[in-house]
Amino acid sequence: MRHVVIDGPRSVTVAEVPDAVLPGPDGVVVAVDATAICGSDMHFYDGDIPVGGGLPVGHEFLGTVAEAGPGVTRFRPGDRVLTASVAGCGHCEGCATGDPVTCVEGPKVFGAGALGGGQASMVAVPSADFQLFRIPDGMDDASALLLTDNLNTGWIGAKRADIPLGGTVAVLGLGAVGLCAVRAAFVLGAAQVFAADPVAGRRALAADSGATPLEGPTVDAIREATGGRGTDAVIDAVALDATLTDALTCVRPGGTVSVIGVHNLEPYPLPILTSLFRSVTLRMTTAPVHQTWKELVPLVLHGRLRTDGIFTHSFPLAEAPQAYAAVAARSAECIKVMMRP
């Protein structure tokens, strides 16, 4: 089998390795049909998070069950499945909530060291009855891949932003997750969503989803658009120091900042006193992907939540270096890349 390895900053190879094997009696081996590059993978690629001697990456993938252990009851060879980006043991109190981040044994992320990377031709998936979701008839690969992470993250970021019905929201960062958050905010009742990103073409994509694009410094633009009050909620899909500061500054007093971007390893000087006196609620989360499927799958299947236009490029897995370079350009033309083994 082949898998994508990040060896260091801007260094990607596709390596031949032994085939994946069952991770235990409750696990399966999935033959990957499609996989994707996530914004958080780019932290390894850009060197924000060191990878040591090389890291098999990727946590967004779907495919066909090739082999199932004797303890697997819900899936069998031949089933088309997608998997959540974060895995748990599947049988503890935390996993029972559908959020493996609260797993008693500790969550594990595909392609982050604990589990094999999903940018591969085969992947071993533990706790398959908990971890997998059968792809419904009529769902295309692009929508299914978004349901492994990005759409769920944008959705939960919007839910945790406490958007009041008819309220205002600002979304900072308009990559795949940010664009999903824009669409989710409208479904959850926002009347107006402001969209901020330094790339004009990405602001135009958000406008196509109904958002109001912002130009110029974010805080000034939001204050002008809201009569100086700020928005009811802010969703930060980037989590740079600058965007975190903008988010905490342009949310209205009593509002909520929901952070779903991945920050680097440097400390952030949180303005606690100002946020205290402005009664700001700050929430940070990775997506409880399993928990969100029951809400998102019907919305996607019935066309209530759009998934079109997020994937813009497709590469063979063998061209992973070119795929990563395309994403790293962070242009309006390339939002999200699919790779096929």
DSSP 317: G
pLDDT digits over 249-267, tens only?
A: 999 999 999 999 999 889 9
Structural domain ending residue among the three candidates 284, 299, 330: 284
Q: What is the 3-state secondary structure (H, E, C) of 77-115?
A: CCCEEEECCEECCCCCHHHHCCCHHHCCCCCEEECCCCE
pLDDT of residue 325: 97
- Phi, psi (rounded to 5 degrees) for 66: -95, -30
The C-alpha atoms of residue 310 and residue 241 are separated, in whole angstroms, by: 26
**pLDDT for residue 241 is more than 90:** yes
Instruction: Answer yes or no: do 10 and 76 share one domain.
Output: yes
178 and 141 in one domain? no
104 in the same domain as 223: no
Sign of CA dihedral 162, 253, 168, 230: negative
Report which of 317, 299, 311, 319 is spatially closest to residue 337, judged by C-alpha positions.
311
Domain range for 54: 2-149+288-340
Average pLDDT over residues 44-59: 91
> What per-residue confidence (pLDDT) applies to 53?
79
Of 266, 284, 302, which marks where a domain is finished? Answer: 284
pLDDT confidence band for 51 (50 / 70 / 90): confident
Do residues 292 and 145 share a domain? yes
Is residue 18 packed enough to be buried (19+ CB in 10 Å), middle (13-18) or exposed (0-12)?
A: exposed
Both 88 and 188 in one domain: the answer is no
- Alpha carbon distance 220, 217 (integer Å): 6
Q: Residue 133: its pLDDT value, please?
A: 98
Give the pLDDT of residue 25.
98
Q: Which of 246, 268, 284 is the last residue of a domain?
A: 284
CATH number where 45 lies: 3.90.180.10
Q: What is the DSSP letter of 34?
A: E
Contacts of residue 302, Cβ cutoff 8 Å, sequence gap at least 6: none
Say if residue 248 is in the same domain as residue 118.
Answer: no
Say if residue 302's pLDDT is above 90. Answer: yes
97 and 165 co-located in one domain: no
- CATH number, position 261: 3.40.50.720
Compute the distance between CA of residue 282 and CA of residue 196 in angstroms, rounded to an integer: 19
Looking at the 3D structure of the chain, how many domains does it have? Answer: 2
Q: Are residues 144 and 27 in the same domain?
A: yes
In tens, the pLDDT along 135-171 reads 999 999 999 999 999 999 999 999 999 999 999 999 9
Q: Which residue type occupies 174?
A: L
